Amino acid sequence: MWERMDTVLEDCKNIAREAGREILRYYENEEFWVKEKSDHTPVTQADVAANEIILGRLKAKYPEAAFLAEESADDRSRLSKEWCFIIDPLDGTKEFIKRSDEFTVNIALVRDHHPVMGVIYLPVYDDLYWAVKGRGARSEKHGEPVREIHVSDRTEDIRACLSKSNSAPNAPEILAGFGIRHVIFAGSALKGCMIAAGDAEIYYRSGLTSEWDTAAMQCIVEEAGGILRQMDDTEMTYNRENTLNEKGFYILNREENRPH
């Protein structure tokens, strides 16, 4: 698939936008069901509809690949495949339900356990971020031309991202104890995109996440010059038997800002 990566990327960008339009159809009409999954996280009608669009399009175009998606049953045959699409059709379901606007469509392509392409789309804002391994990261915001994005070089007066839905109430105070006083609350994978684009420098996540939460974001962050590692400083890999990211992770603009 590598020789077709330009085509794969364009397909994923178009599919993310199509899924985003479907999500907005529910979001704007405010008519959708919400259920609780076995892990006690919410899923909505929009999650399922977007998942069907993304998987349907990608499976038709790339039947040789494996697929891991949040809203689909896990087919363990993926473990023997070189290529695997990892999909979060609606990252930030809690933000979607609360109508905070900061939810995303995440599509990643992994080769031999490492992300080689990532696409993240924010439907409400019509903002698109993407990267291909070795080719840098880019964004296309509504009404603006495509631009290459890079992490900032700040090591002082750094800005930290916190989740709107999953952060501890005292997180800003904890960060202040480390001398970090600029805190930006943001939803879903937007936090990684902000660091990739130079609008923040650090994000720590200690709780459980899943492969589909980080795969696309990791490719974009790393191609923008940033760092995403597990909290024990080990590499985050993908298309694993256990799809949970159990160690937490951090994103940095520079190694000097590594947590201690």
> pLDDT per residue over 92-150, tens digit each?
999 999 999 999 999 999 999 999 999 999 999 999 999 999 999 999 998 899 999 99
Query: Residues 86, 202: one domain?
Result: no
Position with higher pLDDT, 171 vs 38: 38
In a shared domain, residues 136 and 221: no
CATH number of domain containing 75: 3.30.540.10
> Is 7 a member of any domain?
yes
How confident is the model at residue 173, as a pLDDT?
74
What does pLDDT average to over the chain? 94
What per-residue confidence (pLDDT) applies to 166?
Answer: 67
**Tokens of residue 15, six digits:** 């599919």
For residues 218 and 238, membership in a common domain is answered with yes
pLDDT of the residue at 259: 66
What per-residue confidence (pLDDT) applies to 138?
98
Question: Is 254 a residue whose pLDDT tops 70?
Answer: yes
Q: What is the CATH number of the domain that holds 219?
A: 3.40.190.80
Give the global pTM.
0.95
Domain co-membership, 196 together with 235: yes
Choose the final residue of a domain: 149, 184, 209.
149
**For residue 223, what are the domain limits?**
159-257
Q: How confident is the model at residue 49 (pLDDT cuts 50, 70, 90)?
A: very high
Q: Is 105 left (phi over 0), alpha (psi -120 to 50) or beta?
A: beta
**Tens digits of residue pLDDT in 162-217:** 887 766 666 677 677 677 888 999 988 999 999 999 999 999 998 899 999 999 99
In a domain, 189, yes or no: yes
142 and 166 belong to one structural domain: no
Cα–Cα distance measured from residue 241 to residue 80, given in angstroms and rounded to the nearest whole number: 11
Number of structural domains found in the chain:
2
Secondary structure, 3-state, the chain: CHHHHHHHHHHHHHHHHHHHHHHHHHHHHCCCCEEECCCCCEEEHHHHHHHHHHHHHHHHHCCCCEEEECCCCCCHHHHHCCEEEEEEEEECHHHHHHCCCCCEEEEEEEECCEEEEEEEEECCCCEEEEEECCCCEEEECCCCCCEEECCCCCCCCCEEEEECCCCCCCHHHHHHHCCCCEEEEECCCHHHHHHHCCCCCEEEECCCEEHHHHHHHHHHHHHCCCEEEECCCCCCCCCCCCCEECCCEEEECCHHHCCC
pLDDT score of 102? 94
In a domain, 50, yes or no: yes
Domain assignment present for 154: no
Shared-domain flag, residues 138 and 233: no
Q: Between residues 171 and 244, which one has the greater pLDDT?
A: 244
Residues 134 and 17 in one domain: yes
Q: Decide if 42 is inside a domain.
A: yes
For the segment 1-7, the average pLDDT, to the nearest whole number, is 92
